[in-house]
Structure 1
Amino acid sequence: MNKTSSVPVVAQRQNNLKKSVLGFFATNGNATIPDLSKELNFSVPKITSLVNELIQDSLIQDYGKVDSTGGRRPNLYGLIPDSAFFIGVEVKQSHINIGLSNLQCELVRVTEEIEYKLDNTQESLDSLCEAIVQFIGGLTINKANILGIGINLSGRINYKTGHSYSFFHFDERPLSQIIESKVGIPVFLENDSRAMAYGEFCMGVVKDEKNVLYLNLGYGIAVGIMLNGQLYYGKSGYAGEFGHMPLFDNEQICHCGKKGCLETEASGWALTRMFREKLLEGSSSVLSLKNIAPEDVVMEDIIWAAKNDDVLAIELIAKIGEKLGRGIALLINLFNPELVVLGGSLATTEDYLRLPIKTAINKYSLSLVNNDTDLKMSKLGERAGIIGACLLVRNRLWALL
Structure 2
Amino acid sequence: MDIPSVVQSVSDFWFETSSAGVALKNKARKRNIINYLDAHEETTIPDLALALNLSVPKATSLVGELIATGLIKDYGKVESTGGRPASVYGLVADSCFFLGIDVKEYAVNIGLLDFRKNLVQVDMNVPYQLQNTKESLDGLMLIIQHFIDQAPVRSESILSACINLGGRINTRTGYSFSFFHFTEEPLTDYAERKLGIRVFLENDTRAMSYGEFSKGIVKNEKNVLFVNIDYGIGLGILIDGKAYYGKSGFSGEFGHIPIFDNEILCHCGKKGCFETEASGRALLRLFKERAEQGSTSSVISNLDELPRLRLTDIIEGAQNEDMLCIELLAEIGSKVGKGIALLINIFNPELVVLGGPLIQTGDYLFLPVKGAVNKYSLSLVNNDTQLCLSQLGEKAGLIGGCLIARDYLLAGR
TM-score bracket, normalised by the shorter chain, equals: over 0.9
Deviation at 1:219, TM superposition (A): 0.4
Q: Secondary structure at the match of 2:277?
A: helix
Match of 2:173 among 152, 158, 161: 161
User: Would the aligned equivalents of 2:265 and 2:271 in 1 still touch at CA under 8 Å?
Assistant: yes
Specify the alignment match of 2:296 in structure 1.
Answer: 284
State the one-letter code of the partner of 1:389.
G
Specify the alignment match of 1:4 in structure 2.
Answer: none
- The 3 A distance-change label for structure 1 pair 248 and 45 is same
Deviation at 1:243, TM superposition (A): 0.3
The size of the alignment, in residue pairs, is 395
Superimposed CA distance per residue, residues 303-332 of structure 1 (whole angstroms, 9 cap, x where no aligned partner): 111111111111111111111111111111
Which whole-Å CA distance do the structure 2 matches of 1:137 and 1:294 have between them?
38
Q: Does 1:330 align with 2:342?
A: yes
Deviation at 1:159, TM superposition (A): 1.1
Match of 2:95 among 83, 91, 95: 83
Which whole-Å CA distance do the structure 2 matches of 1:9 and 1:217 have between them?
50
User: Would the aligned equivalents of 2:35 and 2:410 in 1 still touch at CA under 8 Å?
Assistant: no
User: Would the aligned equivalents of 1:336 and 1:373 in 2 still touch at CA under 8 Å?
Assistant: yes
Specify the alignment match of 1:258 in structure 2.
Answer: 270
Deviation at 1:8, TM superposition (A): 4.4
Match of 2:259 among 240, 243, 247: 247
Q: Secondary structure at the match of 1:314?
A: helix
Aligned ranges for residues 373-384 of structure 1 at < 5 Å? 373-384=385-396
- The 3 A distance-change label for structure 1 pair 69 and 257 is same
User: Would the aligned equivalents of 1:220 and 1:268 in 2 still touch at CA under 8 Å?
Assistant: yes
Aligned ranges for residues 210-229 of structure 1 at < 5 Å? 210-229=222-241
Q: Secondary structure at the match of 1:160?
A: coil
Match of 1:303 among 311, 315, 319: 315
State the one-letter code of the partner of 1:257.
G
State the one-letter code of the partner of 1:229.
G
Q: Which moved more, 1:325-334 or 1:12-21?
A: 12-21
Q: Does 1:130 align with 2:133?
A: no
User: Would the aligned equivalents of 2:132 and 2:180 in 1 still touch at CA under 8 Å?
Assistant: yes
User: Would the aligned equivalents of 1:280 and 1:294 in 2 still touch at CA under 8 Å?
Assistant: no
Specify the alignment match of 2:67 in structure 1.
Answer: 55
Specify the alignment match of 1:3 in structure 2.
Answer: none
User: Would the aligned equivalents of 1:153 and 1:192 in 2 still touch at CA under 8 Å?
Assistant: yes
Superimposed CA distance per residue, residues 248-285 of structure 1 (whole angstroms, 9 cap, x where no aligned partner): 11111111111111100000000011111112222222
Q: Secondary structure at the match of 1:286?
A: coil
User: Would the aligned equivalents of 2:227 and 2:235 in 1 still touch at CA under 8 Å?
Assistant: yes
Which whole-Å CA distance do the structure 2 matches of 1:79 and 1:280 have between them?
59
Superimposed CA distance per residue, residues 181-239 of structure 1 (whole angstroms, 9 cap, x where no aligned partner): 11221211111111111111111101011111111110011101111111111011100
**Kindly, what percent of the aligned residue pairs are identical?**
55
Deviation at 1:9, TM superposition (A): 6.4
User: Would the aligned equivalents of 2:226 and 2:352 in 1 still touch at CA under 8 Å?
Assistant: yes
Aligned ranges for residues 227-238 of structure 1 at < 5 Å? 227-238=239-250
Match of 1:19 among 31, 52, 57: 31
Deviation at 1:24, TM superposition (A): 2.8
- The 3 A distance-change label for structure 1 pair 42 and 289 is farther
Q: Secondary structure at the match of 2:142?
A: helix
State the one-letter code of the partner of 2:349.
P
| Uncovered stretches (5+) of structure 2, i.e. residues with no partner | 1-18
Superimposed CA distance per residue, residues 74-97 of structure 1 (whole angstroms, 9 cap, x where no aligned partner): 111111000000111000000001
Specify the alignment match of 1:196 in structure 2.
Answer: 208
Which whole-Å CA distance do the structure 2 matches of 1:191 and 1:235 have between them?
15
Deviation at 1:11, TM superposition (A): 4.9
Deviation at 1:49, TM superposition (A): 3.4
Q: Does 1:186 align with 2:198?
A: yes
Deviation at 1:71, TM superposition (A): 3.3
Deviation at 1:105, TM superposition (A): 2.0
Match of 1:29 among 30, 36, 41: 41
Q: Does 1:353 align with 2:358?
A: no
User: Would the aligned equivalents of 2:168 and 2:178 in 1 still touch at CA under 8 Å?
Assistant: yes
Q: What is the TM-score of this pair, normalised by structure 1?
A: 0.93
Q: Does 1:139 align with 2:157?
A: no
Which whole-Å CA distance do the structure 1 matches of 2:45 and 2:325 have between them?
57
Which whole-Å CA distance do the structure 1 matches of 2:62 and 2:330 have between them?
55
Which whole-Å CA distance do the structure 2 matches of 1:115 and 1:105 have between them?
26
Deviation at 1:156, TM superposition (A): 0.5
Which whole-Å CA distance do the structure 2 matches of 1:216 and 1:174 have between them?
26
User: Would the aligned equivalents of 1:147 and 1:185 in 2 still touch at CA under 8 Å?
Assistant: yes
Q: Secondary structure at the match of 1:266?
A: coil
Q: Which moved more, 1:71-80 or 1:90-99?
A: 71-80
User: Would the aligned equivalents of 2:30 and 2:62 in 1 still touch at CA under 8 Å?
Assistant: yes
User: Would the aligned equivalents of 1:105 and 1:387 in 2 still touch at CA under 8 Å?
Assistant: no
Q: Secondary structure at the match of 1:224?
A: strand
Q: Does 1:268 align with 2:268?
A: no
Deviation at 1:287, TM superposition (A): 1.2
User: Would the aligned equivalents of 2:168 and 2:250 in 1 still touch at CA under 8 Å?
Assistant: yes
Superimposed CA distance per residue, residues 74-124 of structure 1 (whole angstroms, 9 cap, x where no aligned partner): 111111000000111000000001111111221101111111111100110
Q: Secondary structure at the match of 1:273?
A: helix
User: Would the aligned equivalents of 1:33 and 1:48 in 2 still touch at CA under 8 Å?
Assistant: yes
